[in-house]
Amino acid sequence: MYLIVVGLNHKTAPVEIREKLSFPEHSLAEALAEVKKIKAVRGCAILSTCNRTEVYAAVLDVEQGLRGIREFLAKRCRLSASEIQNYLYNYTLFDVINHLFRVASGLDSMILGETQILGQVRRAYEIACELGATNGVLNTLFLRAITVGKRVRTETEIDRNAVSISYAAVELAKQIFEDGIQGRSVLIVGAGKMSELTAKHLVANGVSTVLVSNRSYDRAVCLAKVFGGKAVKFDELFTYMETADIVISATAATHCIIKPQDIENVMKKRNNKKMFIIDIAVPRDVDPAVGSIEGVSLYDIDDLKNVVDSNLSQREKEARKAEKIIKNEIDEFWKWLSSQFATPTIAALKKRGEEIKQKEITRAFNRLGNLTDREKKVISSMANSIVNQLLHDPVIQLKHYAPTHQGHLYTEILQKLFNLDVPGQKILEGQTGQPQSGDLQAERAAAGHGQAGQSHTG
């Protein structure tokens, strides 16, 4: 049995292809059942976010499994197998482990180190378990991946620094207001997407009052409703600015609309109470001279980008630490996986040797007639020695190669050469449904509660 994964993500496929291969949670039962009908498949799970769709499977035949899953995905998005192949990637065996561990750790995400993907991996596994789609190998792989993802976030700071313009603004606001931003007010100037996203992050971090001003009052009303805030007419902008601790400006104006004299008047009425202004418009909405006014902290798009670049560099540094953790975890998992096949294979080989030995000893005793106990002991000892010496090197070599990336090949060759029946593999092939009691509950705590189904990360 072998591990495989076939999928696509934001690096390999445009959104119009990704959306065709999206699997909302309500569709997973049918999808998993269809994948499991593929002849070679013994267990499967589907990870689907808005940035990736991946089908993981434990199969008896790699090529048959890959081909079957590609055909399943092609049928799903109504493309030919040759057309969809341009967007798909696939990994097998050792590379599957490496890929899933990196995905769960946020190293393969659009935003390096993002946290939501860990919860999504957990949920994908949980659903596959509930539907009886997994098997022993996949259970252990996913549980281990969730643990690895948690370990990476616990032992590194890969998710600690903002790497989006909108969230960098929030982090800066927290630094400027020493007692935090909980309960503070924000004024949004312009009803564009970037200012909306920044306001969303601020509200999520405790900002209590949202004011929205726009040249189109109707658009201001619409955006204010999103945050349960208040729309402000554009000609009343500076009157309401007197009550705002944070100002986000992102209009389409071709010139500065917030000038030093305006802010000086505002700050006088605020008694120079601290104000944080975020100018994310291009061209800029706020005259740079505003930044020199007492009590005002002004940041433009380039300032925020510098913060993001610095934070991204820090995340990349932490990612290198994460890769080391993943490498160690892969080695441990590979040793476990190899033992699941090497150990029962060795046992089956020794059993075959014992059967042949006993069969030939019995035949020899029958042909030789009356033998003394000593003669029988000598013959038995000789037969035992021959079998042990004959099997010694194959057993030692299999134990040596089993933990390597090619260990499965040695195991399979030995099984085929000696026509071995390996019952331990059948257990792994057939173990479906819920893992051992408490596993999901424990890993749920480890992985956190990410959203199921669709996401804007991953």
The two beta strands, 2-9 and 52-59, are antiparallel
Check the annotation: does 156 bind a ligand: no
Q: Residue 185: enclosing H or E segment and its boundaries?
A: strand 185-189
Q: Residue 16: enclosing H or E segment and its boundaries?
A: helix 15-18
Check the annotation: does 284 bind a ligand: no
d(CA 316, CA 111): 11
Check the annotation: does 49 bind a ligand: yes
Check the annotation: does 115 bind a ligand: yes
Q: CB–CB of 114/49 below 8 Å? A: no
Q: Tell me whether residue 129 is one of the annotated catalytic residues.
A: no
Check the annotation: does 319 bind a ligand: no
d(CA 228, CA 238): 21
Sorted by sequence, the CB contacts under 8 Å of residue 280 that are 6+ apart come out as 165, 169, 194, 195, 198, 248, 249, 250, 300, 301, 304
d(CA 79, CA 83): 6
**Using N-to-C axis directions, what is the helix angle for 28-36 and 116-130, rounded to 10°?**
60
Concatenated DSSP letters of 44-75: EEEEEETTEEEEEEEES-HHHHHHHHHHHHHH
Residues in the chain: 458
What are the percentages of helix, strand and coil residues in the chain, rounded to 5?
60, 15, 30
Check the annotation: does 50 bind a ligand: yes
Task: Tell me the CA distances in angstroms from 26 to 22, 57, 433, 454, one per residue in order.
Answer: 11, 20, 18, 11
Check the annotation: does 222 bind a ligand: no
Q: CB–CB of 84/77 below 8 Å? A: yes
Concatenated DSSP letters of 207-268: --EEEEEESSHHHHHHHHHHTT-EEEEGGGHHHHHTT-SEEEE----SS-SB-HHHHHHHHH
Name the active-site residue from 44, 50, 129, 256: 50
Check the annotation: does 192 bind a ligand: yes
d(CA 419, CA 434): 33
Check the annotation: does 30 bind a ligand: no
d(CA 229, CA 200): 12
Check the annotation: does 51 bind a ligand: yes
- Token pair, residue 294, equals 């007492």
Check the annotation: does 353 bind a ligand: no
Check the annotation: does 120 bind a ligand: yes
Neighbour count for residue 146 (Cβ, 10 Å) = 27
Q: What letters, b where the CB count within 10 A reaches 16 and e where it falls short, cover 391-413?
A: beebbeebbebbbeeebbebbee
Check the annotation: does 1 bind a ligand: no
Concatenated DSSP letters of 134-164: --HHHHHHHHHHHHHHHHHHHHS-TTSS--S
List the beta bridge partners of residue 258. 286
Binding site feature residues for NADP(+): 190-195
Binding site feature residues: 49-52, 109, 114-116, 120, 190-195
Binding site feature residues for substrate: 49-52, 109, 114-116, 120
Catalytic residue numbers read 50
